[in-house]
Amino acid sequence: MNVVIAGYGVEGKASYDYWRRQGATVAIADERQELLDTPAGTQLLLGRGVFEQLGAFDVIVRSPGVSPHKLPYGDKVWSATNEFFTQCKAPIIGVTGTKGKGTVSSLIAAILRAAGEKVHLVGNIGKPALEVLPHIRDSDVVVFELSSFQLWDAVKSPYVAVILGIEPDHLEVHTDFSEYVDAKANIVRYQTDLQVTIWNNDNQYARQIAEHTLATRVPYPTAQSAYAEDGYFWLRGEKLCSIAALQLPGMHNIENACAAITASSYFIASGLVDAVEQGLRSFTGLPHRLKFVAEKHGVKYYDDSIATTPGSAIAAMHSFEAPKLLILGGSSKGVGYQEVVATAKSTGTQVLAIGETGPAILQLCEAQGVVASYEPGFMQAVVAHASQLVPVGGVVLLSPASASFDQYNNYADRGDQFIRAVEEL
């Protein structure tokens, strides 16, 4: 069997290794002009227009970063996500949404591990699923963080599907917002009536997707699921533990915990209360997700570099009562900043605009009466500028509501540079 991997990133590399283990002859196709880390002797097809040359292969494995529109080969096109769902014998909890996927997936894994389950956390969170597949037993549980790119052409759905809030994102890649939502909908499209769909009841797009599932439908946070009330987490009327067990700031993370508790409950026969409390206490957050960096000269700095959507930045602002400065901007993802700026105004948050979109953000802030500045430099200059603007007792949030590719390699590089700059203050 002749297989070609379309797109040779992290997941493409795992796909290459997987199909080689299956005994296939595997080639690599990538739109880049040069790849420096390919296995010796592998057939390479490189450069612009290369995906138009794949018709002779038996199977074309689409990596998440490659649009299906570039691969018009019908049933020949497959993906690592589809292969994993086909071959994995353990039950899968799939998590999608625009923001919070990694946090909710990690909380689910922490709760289930506290309950004694063997859990594999894979997918968009950074661990390619096919890399882990040989180590998964039938009795294990898989938690799969699923992006729109991984779900784009999915033909399988998980046993438990979790749909978090959805808002416009990746519009520089998807044809439009409708296509983005439709890709997300594949998480439930192939479910049966023996499975479960959990969705954010406050989000119209999550609700819209859930309306089309055959599975048992469980909205959160509601009386049918986990919810927070009177300082405690509850599950369908049963008191679980204090909200203080959750180590993550912000109301949005309380909602994330409700989603995680609800999903976990379908796999815990006994000891749920202890598992929830231990799991929540054990998870202190993922890198670059509203993580406390340091307090310098009476000002606290938080790294939320993964916040590449307006909703993420809005949630970050609502997470703190202290005087705030929001570092906002970067490369465009095709969405506007009007709502972020309106929230900055209503919460009294200063804005330090940065990057490619910074001038437009500054203009929007000035029009809305938001105190704002612009810093064209890199992160050391940004942090130095921010430190001059925030009063003692205040908070600086790197929550840019933008992609990072104008000035940085990725959101992690941006966040790492922020951390170093803060530590050097």
pLDDT for 182: 96
pLDDT for 187: 98
Which residues of the chain are in CATH 3.90.190.20 domains?
291-423
Rounded to whole angstroms, how far apart are CA atoms 105 and 93?
9
pLDDT for 170: 84
Is the preceding peptide bond at 376 cis, omega within 30 degrees of 0?
A: no
CATH annotation of 2-79:
3.40.50.720
Angle made by CA atoms 221, 321, 108, in degrees to the nearest 5: 35
End-to-end CA distance of the chain: 57
Which residues of the chain are in CATH 3.40.50.720 domains?
2-79
- DSSP class per residue in 340-392: HHHHHHHHT-EEEEESTTHHHHHHHHHHHT--EEEE-S-HHHHHHHHHTTSPT
Which residues of the chain are in CATH 3.40.1190.10 domains?
88-282
- DSSP class per residue in 141-162: EEEEE--HHHHTT-----SEEE
The tens-digit pLDDT sequence of the chain (425 residues) is 999 999 999 999 999 999 999 999 999 999 999 998 999 999 999 999 999 999 999 999 999 989 999 999 999 999 999 999 999 999 999 999 999 999 999 999 999 999 999 999 999 886 899 999 999 999 999 999 999 999 999 999 999 999 999 998 888 889 899 999 999 999 999 999 999 999 999 999 999 999 989 999 999 999 999 999 999 999 999 999 999 999 998 899 999 999 999 999 999 989 999 999 999 999 998 889 899 999 999 999 999 999 998 988 999 999 999 999 999 999 988 889 999 999 999 999 999 999 999 999 999 999 999 999 999 999 999 999 999 999 999 999 999 999 999 999 999 999 999 999 999 99
CATH topology of domain 291-423: Protein-Tyrosine Phosphatase; Chain A (3.90.190)
Selected from 3.20.20.370, 3.40.50.720, 3.40.50.1010, 3.40.1190.10, the CATH number assigned to the domain covering 88-282 reads 3.40.1190.10
**Nearest one of 333, 23, 294 to 148, comparing CA atoms:** 333
Contacts of 70 (CB under 8 A, 6+ apart): 6, 51
Rounded to whole angstroms, how far apart are CA atoms 423 and 98?
30
Measure Cα distances from 32 to 40, 160, 195, 276, 396 in Å: 18, 37, 41, 46, 37
Measure Cα distances from 352 to 56, 218, 391 in Å: 52, 40, 14
DSSP state of 38: P
Contacts of 170 (CB under 8 A, 6+ apart): 148, 149, 180, 333, 334
Rounded to whole angstroms, how far apart are CA atoms 93 and 152?
18
The residue type found at 209 is: I
**Tokens read off for 252:** 């949005």
Q: How many residues does the chain have?
A: 425
pLDDT for 124: 81
What is the three-class DSSP state of 197?
Answer: strand
Rounded to whole angstroms, how far apart are CA atoms 197 and 210?
7
What are the b/e assignments for 56-69, b being 16+ CB within 10 Å? ebebbbbbbbbbee
**Tokens read off for 45:** 């097809």
| Strands in 225-315 per DSSP E | 226-229, 232-235, 238-242, 291-296, 299-303
What are the b/e assignments for 148-172, b being 16+ CB within 10 Å? bbbbbbbebbbbbbbbbbbbbbbee
Cβ-contact 385, 361 below 8 angstroms: no
**Nearest one of 153, 180, 179 to 169, comparing CA atoms:** 180
Rounded to whole angstroms, how far apart are CA atoms 198 and 340?
28
pLDDT for 257: 98
**Nearest one of 180, 83, 169 to 132, comparing CA atoms:** 83
Rounded to whole angstroms, how far apart are CA atoms 310 and 42?
42
**Tokens read off for 122:** 């894979």
**Nearest one of 370, 415, 422 to 395, comparing CA atoms:** 422
